């Protein structure tokens, strides 16, 4: 089974059904399809919709917004964040998971 150990490391022994599920998710992701990923129960205990930018459509964005908290996060590097003038949401990140959120933004500067 794929699970965290008591010291935070990860064991990678999986039964065939778990491995097949992960391989199907990776294949779907590569094909531009949306995948739902669940966190560990002892972390955030939530599911996230994940899709690559290469496959994301307006319909996908609308689905994620309607069927979640409405918050869409984007993974990018510091160079891109700096280019858009986006800075860390807090100067001292105390999140126990180390989540590195930056300020919220919209496509149109005059909207919220």
Looking at the fold, whether 58 and 82 belong to one and the same domain comes out as no
User: Which stretches of 1-112 are assigned E, i.e. beta strand?
Assistant: 2-4, 10-12, 35-38, 47-50
**Residue partners of 43: CB distance under 8 A and separation at least 6:** 97
Looking at the fold, whether 31 and 51 belong to one and the same domain comes out as yes
Is-contact 50 37, C-beta < 8 A?
Answer: yes
Structural domain boundaries, residue 98: 77-112
What's the residue count for the chain?
112
Looking at the fold, whether 39 and 89 belong to one and the same domain comes out as no
pLDDT at 2: 42
In this predicted model, what pLDDT tens digit does every residue of 71-101 receive, in sequence order? Answer: 888 888 989 999 988 888 888 888 887 788 8
Looking at the fold, whether 32 and 81 belong to one and the same domain comes out as no
pLDDT at 111: 64
C-alpha 63, offset from chain centre: 15
pLDDT band at 12 (very low <50, low <70, confident <90, very high): low
Is-contact 29 37, C-beta < 8 A?
Answer: no
In this predicted model, what pLDDT tens digit does every residue of 29-56 receive, in sequence order? Answer: 899 999 998 888 888 788 899 999 888 9
């Amino acid at each position: 089974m794929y699970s965290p150990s008591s010291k935070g490391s990860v064991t990678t022994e999986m039964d065939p059904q778990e491995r097949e599920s992960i391989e199907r998710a990776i294949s779907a992701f590569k094909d531009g399809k949306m995948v739902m990923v669940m966190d560990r129960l002892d972390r955030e205990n939530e599911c996230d919709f994940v899709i690559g930018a290469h496959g994301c459509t307006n319909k996908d964005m609308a689905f994620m917004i309607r069927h979640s908290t409405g918050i869409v996060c984007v993974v990018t590097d510091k160079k891109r964040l700096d280019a858009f003038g986006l800075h860390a949401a807090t100067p001292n990140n105390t999140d126990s998971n180390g989540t590195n959120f930056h300020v919220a933004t919209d496509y149109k500067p005059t909207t919220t």
